[in-house]
Structure 1
């Protein structure tokens, strides 16, 4: 729980000092260059020992939602292994420094999860470094807007599918031998699964697929005592938006279509992942928690 959550806070005014600005970065981008900087909970998230002794693998753990989850998990008592692309090293080092300052292990494992063999190596290295594995957060994602289907080439479609869906399958499958009863798998889907944007056809397709994957796998693994759930973010201020995740003319108004009238910050997602990872959610299976500022979903 963050400090300002302890007091009565108007959610429409929270983070009003962080306003989106037009800017362009090449894929995958760096949080360190994002202006203004997102709030990952570096100074604000306060843990309550809900994940003491747990061991988590987080993909896309260098920035955005993944970084916020890593920081929150560490402050709740968990050790973490973070996956990211090699070009994102500066962001990964920043998150690792915060995790280690909490006295927790931060294992950094760069690599491309579009490669099946690497996904297996990733899980093996994470489990070895942490002395086991009982939380898997499939969070990494690829999003590039395309105005017309004719311009959505096979290379982009393939990259989106492999990053967002194939890797989730490969990593979860490789992790299963390590997961004991009480373990959890948490997948990052999106409001795009329910309200697909016409310029994000491939991305929205993968997010709808993640919902199906989550619910089906949850039913399969529940008898083993392994819970599978998902979190569906809305418009969150991350580097994903400025690496052609959104058109430049939409950046300055990003999130204004929500009921709260603003974009969200990565730290606002972290409590949902903590809840789904902790025993507090022991009766929650196959659920998708929507954290989207008030965008109606089924």
Structure 2
């Protein structure tokens, strides 16, 4: 299914790689204007070069509320509006027993995976009009618990709850909030992919379709959630997992 996003403006966090990059490419190919951000400036430039058309980019840490506010305001100054926000920035977990985790690991996970989404959402709301929407990235780990991933699960469960609450709060203003919950996706930061062939096989064995998903398949779902076809979806959690049993 294809959509016409001409004259629509989308903001994407975590746009330098993985699902964020794939979504940027997808939306730009459909005619959208984009505001892209990521802490990795080099990879962000690569994303922009792969997109159709020219787009606004800024590299910063979304854990900074002031930087998020500046980014939102700069986007409004440039484009005059924001039609959709894809809160995709996040850090994939490392398998660590809770007693071995550190304060630094907690702060890294919470600041990026949760606080970043909060920062962008809070800063954007005053500028959004009826018909705009958010898509926030949770995870299979935001629906089902996994051992040795307690902190990551906490951040992703929190995204689900945060998004459902915001859907109720913003719905009366005509602003929708939905959640993308990916399963095992073939991205450079997926711990199974990093582990190599055996790690990938272990993940594939948990998926009924017998393979990892692609970032592009997630991007297709994001495009749908931003489209008029999803106009009555608000507070929904869309799982993209190929048929994965909970742990």
2:223 aligned partner: 274
1:201 equivalent in alignment to 2:153: no
Q: 1:193 offset after TM fit, Å?
A: 1.3
1:64 equivalent in alignment to 2:13: no
| Structure 1 residue matching 2:232: 3-state secondary structure | coil
Between Structure 1 and Structure 2, the one with more helix by share is 2
1:89 aligned partner: 41
Q: Give the conservation status (yes or no) of the 8 Å contact 2:37–2:57.
A: yes
Spell out, residue by residue over 1:192-221, the C-alpha distance to the aligned partner (whole angstroms, 9 max, x if none).
112222121111111111110111100110
1:238 aligned partner: 187
Q: 1:158 offset after TM fit, Å?
A: 1.1
User: What's the TM-score, normalizing by structure 2?
Assistant: 0.93
Counterparts in 2 of 1:223 and 1:245: CA distance versus 1, 3 Å: farther
- Please point out which of 109, 116, 126 is paired with 1:160: 109
Q: Give the conservation status (yes or no) of the 8 Å contact 2:3–2:227.
A: no
Distance (Å, rounded) in 2 between the aligned partners of 1:204 and 1:187: 15
2:202 aligned partner: 253
Q: Give the conservation status (yes or no) of the 8 Å contact 1:185–1:228.
A: yes
Aligned length: 245
Structure 2's unaligned 5+ residue stretches are none
Q: 1:296 offset after TM fit, Å?
A: 4.2
Distance (Å, rounded) in 2 between the aligned partners of 1:76 and 1:118: 28
Distance (Å, rounded) in 2 between the aligned partners of 1:162 and 1:282: 31
Q: How does 1:12-27 map to 2 (within 5 A)?
A: none
Q: Give the conservation status (yes or no) of the 8 Å contact 2:12–2:34.
A: yes
Spell out, residue by residue over 1:240-287, the C-alpha distance to the aligned partner (whole angstroms, 9 max, x if none).
225x99656624533331111111110011111111111111111100
User: What's the TM-score, normalizing by structure 1?
Assistant: 0.77
Spell out, residue by residue over 1:29-69, the C-alpha distance to the aligned partner (whole angstroms, 9 max, x if none).
xxxxxxxxxxxxxxxxxxx3432211111000111000111
Distance (Å, rounded) in 2 between the aligned partners of 1:127 and 1:237: 33
2:91 aligned partner: 142
Spell out, residue by residue over 1:97-150, the C-alpha distance to the aligned partner (whole angstroms, 9 max, x if none).
222xx33x3111100111121111121122223332111110000123133111
Distance (Å, rounded) in 2 between the aligned partners of 1:84 and 1:245: 22
